[in-house]
A and B are shown apart, each in its own frame.
Chain A
Amino acid sequence: MLGVLFSLAAAAGFGGSAVLARIGLQYVRPVTGTLISLIVGIIITTILAFVFHYDDIRGLAAIAFAWFLIVGILNYPLGRLLNYTSVSKLGVSKSAPVVGASPLFAAVAAVTFGGETMNLPLIVGTIAIIGGIGLIMGQK
């Protein structure tokens, strides 16, 4: 039960973030808005990381930072900035569902590069996602 509640809280956090960004981005450009949102996130996550994982941080290998670099570039200068740009241009209701279709790309990567196979749910899910995005994009 706690897992379900926490999952719903996570969904509310991600969903609310897009709406709050939409309001803020009426006054701030996406690049600066992304930077401000990241600074707030850094303060919170860094404090939590040092409080709960101080020993793990001390034991980080040099190669870890190479991975953090790759993940950091994908997630923030690319991912979040593109996300905020789309929210700014389209609004939340059109942008959020398209951005939320990211598991489709993960599935494509897993099938193409990870050796996983297509199955019926994957096909059905893909069609549903493409149909949903088509509905949203097809509006005048």
Chain B
Amino acid sequence: MLGYAAAIGAAACYGTLAVLGKKVVTDIAPPLVATAFSMVIGTIILAAIFQQQIRQDLIIRPALKGWIFVSLAGGSATWGVTFWYLALNQAPAVLVAPIASIHPVFSVLITLVFLRKTEHVSMKTVLGAVLVTFGVVIITLSSKWPGYNVFGINI
């Protein structure tokens, strides 16, 4: 249950960020500048709050494999953010956002190929991921919906 609560919490944070972030990159600073500085500040706060746990982990010295893969995870996320902004330079958000939103499907597919021994991916999970992605794409495109009046109800 904690895992799902954490996932929903993360989704809520990222969703709120989408609304706030628009203001920041429109009025405050270019996207790359905002990303860099917010990342620095966020990291300092994270390190300050969890310094004891981090210190314990550094003393225990986790396996090098762990360090390498979380570093690569950070690099991959930065790759995603960088190409997101490059895409927005080339195409409108109404095209970029739905395509970039299919990343959960990428995650499930990559898991199926490379993490078969670590994780069992059921058909329900695949179906769930596809359904969520479909819903995200529809919501992302909803701003372009012209709206119709059906039997007196605006939809």
- Chains A and B bind each other: yes
Q: How far is the CA of A112 from the CA of B139 in the complex (A)?
A: 15
B129 touches A97 (CB 8 A): yes
Contact of B15 among A20, A32, A34, A103 (CB under 8 A): A103
Provide the B86-111 mask, 1 if CB < 8 A to any CB of A, else 0.
11001110011101111111111111
- B residues 13-68 touching A (CB-CB < 8 Å): 13-21, 23-24, 28-30, 32-43, 45-47, 49-50, 53-54, 57-58, 62-63, 65-68
Partner of A68, one of B38, B76, B133: B38
Complex Cα distance, B72 from A110, in Å, reads 34
Task: List the B side residues contacting A100 at CB < 8 Å.
Answer: 11, 101, 103-104, 107, 132-133, 136
Inter-subunit contact B70/A24 (CB<8 Å)? yes
Name the residue of chain B whose CB is nearest to the CB of A119. B145
We find that the number of chain A residues with CB closer than 8 angstroms to chain B is 116
Q: Is the interface of B mostly helix, strand, loop or mixed?
A: helix
Q: Report B-chain residues with C-beta under 8 Å of the C-beta of A28.
A: 57, 62, 66-67, 70
CB distance from A123 to the nearest CB of B (A): 8
The answer to whether A129 and B136 touch across the interface, beta carbons within 8 angstroms, is yes
Residues of A within 8 A of B62 (CB): 27-29, 32
Could you tell me the distance in whole angstroms from the C-beta of B3 to the nearest C-beta in chain A?
A: 3
Instruction: Using A10-B84, A77-B45, A135-B127 as known contacts, list a sample of 8 further A-B pairs with CB atoms less than 8 Å apart, ordered by residue number in A.
Output: A16-B107, A24-B67, A28-B62, A32-B57, A64-B37, A76-B43, A94-B7, A100-B101
Q: Which residues of B contact A (CB under 8 A)?
A: 2-4, 6-21, 23-24, 28-30, 32-43, 45-47, 49-50, 53-54, 57-58, 62-63, 65-84, 86-87, 90-92, 95-97, 99-112, 114-115, 118-119, 121-122, 124-142, 145, 147-148, 154-155
Can you identify 11 A-B contacts, CB atoms within 8 angstroms? A29-B57, A38-B74, A40-B71, A88-B3, A97-B132, A100-B132, A106-B16, A119-B147, A126-B135, A129-B131, A135-B131
Interface residues of A (CB under 8 A from B): 2-4, 6-29, 31-42, 44-46, 48-49, 52-53, 56-57, 60, 63-65, 67-83, 85-86, 88-110, 114, 117, 119-122, 124-139
